[in-house]
Structure 1
């Protein structure tokens, strides 16, 4: 345990999640049948060529998913990428070109744009938060406040935007939150005793986790848990003065312990929070409040 969470760059784990979501999205759109509008109006074999174009400033994420989508849904379409996930893009920037069966392109269009718009929106909002803490040591982290089923992809998009991934699931790290503390107190355990109990039981059962993190919302609680030296202490909804005080206490007695600020973080407040000296700032808004980035398809008059 060292407080370092797995970071989701593109790999087999993310690709497998994307493949399953693509399958669900296609089934949702076609219901095992066909795109009847296209089938009735577009002649078989008609060629088509479209550019995938950004309509606004942002950070692109999801082009890797588009590659998988085309492989699964449109065997008669060639995808040529002109951007990469993580690229900063301006309005009018061509991200990719699709050439081949016009019918297949039309059938894939909405699923493709849904993935690209959603993931690019997460990456774009993340980059905005990351830019707001430039010059401070604090890094911006996501949370588990993700769309059900989309967690790996949304956390991948956070990485594309320059952010860091917090734990991927309940099985990855221990995080003793306020409700756990309340239930532990009913057993007569103090916050420090609850922390030590967790550490002891993990060791006895030889369970490996990425970190033990403890949430506190007062300096008094922080002082109680400080001697137990968990990997991370989450400072929830504290004022900046209290955050600075916690940093001073940590630096004096447990400099290796990481401090994470959380709760009510916004673009208006994150800069000042970062200046308190905390190591991490977790922001649920990166995934639960990111608007889609506007991306569209521009059709050419004829296939290339």
Structure 2
């Protein structure tokens, strides 16, 4: 079975990322002061509840953040979820209900919505790409993420049905065009994979080295022919049209059938279908994260006492 990049799940590490981001979000809004609009207009003991509702169709991501925000900011609120991450949502659907202090609800409203809208937008766009990939290839994200948000945004990709590529530079060896251009005077393409394997074994030991994926980027069939005999785990085919990708798949099938092929570069909703049908196993799409628009969600009051 081919090796795979580690997939992001909701876990303690991801929750810790969120806590840092939540603290920063409240620092941006409150600094060392307070929400003067709310405290000047709302009584300290006012209680109420409000729904967070979808203003557009999409795929939910980020719901576990809401109780984290309540906990981290010490809000006097309770959260009742009605939808869960990965659920399809339609315009008007209630995602969940916040109840408790009206002051806390108003002060935290934008922070909660910002997280949910951003992550739901990524999940929604990912689901659209997955649906458009009519072939057998899986849809992967990239490292083109918002600084500090990477694991969170990759989690949203997973909610939308996508697959995570490497989470960071530490997660794998990926020799891209700039690595190869820099080292071209010292080694050939055929030398890259054995050199990397030898180095990883010396640094990590044989067992740990074997767990590290090795991926090499090529931009021509000639380069592919040079790399295939060394059998890296994955070869990235950069900016190749579908006809060339089909030739690459035929070459791979003949020379190194265990090597996975990944298509990347210029992938959009119009091109992903034909690309996914060429026989490559993977299509990586930077737009899943850097091109996603937030999905509109809003807060609707239910009651106030």
Q: Does the pair score TM above 0.5?
A: yes
Q: Is the 8 A contact 1:74 1:105 kept in 2?
A: no
* Structure 1 Cα separation of the partners of residues 212 and 14 of structure 2: 19
* Structure 2 Cα separation of the partners of residues 133 and 239 of structure 1: 15
Partner of 1:198: 196
Partner of 1:19: 19
Q: Number of paired residues? A: 301
The C-alpha deviation readout for 1:99-138, integer Å capped at 9, x for no partner, is 110000001001001000000000000000001124x220
What's the CA shift for 1:74?
4.4
* Structure 1 Cα separation of the partners of residues 23 and 303 of structure 2: 31
What's the CA shift for 1:2?
4.8
* Structure 1 Cα separation of the partners of residues 106 and 82 of structure 2: 20
* Structure 1 Cα separation of the partners of residues 40 and 304 of structure 2: 19
Partner of 2:101: 101
Indicate yes or no: 2:38 matched with 1:35: no
Q: Is the 8 A contact 1:3 1:232 kept in 2?
A: no
Partner of 2:271: 269
Q: TM (normalized to structure 1)?
A: 0.96
Aligned positions of 1:9-158 closer than 5 A? 9-134=9-134, 136-158=135-157
What is the aligned-residue RMSD (CA, Å)?
1.3
Partner of 1:164: 163
Q: Secondary structure at the match of 2:112?
A: helix
Q: Is the 8 A contact 1:55 1:296 kept in 2?
A: yes
Q: Secondary structure at the match of 1:215?
A: strand
* Structure 2 Cα separation of the partners of residues 34 and 186 of structure 1: 60
The C-alpha deviation readout for 1:27-74, integer Å capped at 9, x for no partner, is 111102211111111001101210000000000101111120012224
Q: Is the 8 A contact 1:80 1:97 kept in 2?
A: yes
Q: Is the 8 A contact 1:74 1:108 kept in 2?
A: no
Bigger drift between 201-210 and 156-165 goes to: 201-210
Unpaired runs of at least 5, structure 2: none
* Structure 1 Cα separation of the partners of residues 93 and 3 of structure 2: 39
* Structure 1 Cα separation of the partners of residues 32 and 61 of structure 2: 28
Unpaired runs of at least 5, structure 1: none
Q: Is the 8 A contact 1:60 1:84 kept in 2?
A: yes
Q: TM (normalized to structure 2)?
A: 0.96
* Structure 2 Cα separation of the partners of residues 55 and 210 of structure 1: 43
